Amino acid sequence: MTRPRGGFFSRLLRTITLSNMYAALGFAALSQCAALLMGLPLASHIFSFFFFQTLAIHLFRDFTLGRTVKFNAPDRQYFMEKYKKPLLVLGGLSFLIAGWGAFMEDGRLRVIMALMWFFACIYQFLPRPRGYADWNLPRLILRPSFLAVGWGAAMLWAAAPLDLLAARPAAAILSLGAVAGHVFVLSVMEDVRGAQGDQIFGRPSLPLFLDEPGTQRALTAFLALWLFWLVMGAASLLPPLLSLLMAVSGPLYGCILMKPLFRHPYGYMFEAAMYGQLILNLPWVFLYWALS
């Protein structure tokens, strides 16, 4: 691996992207969107909880990479090996800060944190099916769907107690779909980026099952459905301005990424662009808060 070139900005972007701070900021911003969609105020403790929790989980994922993921992301593997000790400290501190924040707040964040780590360990260490006989479409769709619904439900529950969600079930379902769409698209795009390594090691994934044209059609259909979902929410129970702004950072932004996704989706620059759909929600949150 050669020494990274470029000016200060490119080196800074590379560092915050490969250290997972970029993704953590995006998921923290998404957690605030979940609160605003339900008509609740911004909560700095939830923002910080999801930032440090996401950072700790993603670093945990990177330190327990399998051979397939190492093949798919050599730049990340090089970065992890070069800065192993600082990143271990960063991951440990992030875990402690997230735990301290969960302990200081109500019981919801404690349960959310425990469940997220439980499923993260299952997802990371559960043996994966091998061989083409285990490649079936429902099973391959279940993985990104599980991630999307899990993250969306965690953010909604962190923002609102269950009795409030039960009192407004339609708004909760619309908010869940608006938030979960981001995670579903990110998960499928990550599979597209890792398709070469998955094919070599026989690891099932949705892009390999559908092939490139099929994956493009499926993603396009999902982005259209997600856009319709957000517009429907804006016209009914969700805050119209925020829903339409999320349509820009979500399905419309995803359409822009479709072309480079299937041409050259490797390296930290595209990863930064890919997680940019989450980062773009941050100015939307402050804009909506300022205008409300």
Contacts of 93 (CB under 8 A, 6+ apart): none
Q: Is residue 5 part of a domain?
A: no
Count CB neighbours of 105 within 10 A. 15
Contacts of 155 (CB under 8 A, 6+ apart): 30, 31, 34, 50, 179
Q: Which domain holds residue 181?
A: 14-291
Q: Is residue 173 part of a domain?
A: yes
With beta carbons less than 8 A apart as the criterion, state whether 233 and 223 touch. Answer: no
pLDDT, residue 70, reads 60
Q: Is residue 189 part of a domain?
A: yes
pLDDT, residue 1, reads 46
Shortest CA distance to 243 belongs to which of 258, 220, 226, 257?
Answer: 226
State the Cα–Cα distance between residues 51 and 56, nearest whole angstrom: 9
Q: Is residue 9 part of a domain?
A: no
Q: Is residue 144 part of a domain?
A: yes
pTM, two decimal places: 0.91
Q: Is residue 79 part of a domain?
A: yes
Count the domains in the chain.
1
pLDDT, residue 34, reads 94
Q: Is residue 2 part of a domain?
A: no
Q: Is residue 259 part of a domain?
A: yes
- For helices 74-82 and 267-279, give the axis angle rounded to 10 degrees: 90
Regions of the chain where pLDDT drops below 50: 1-2
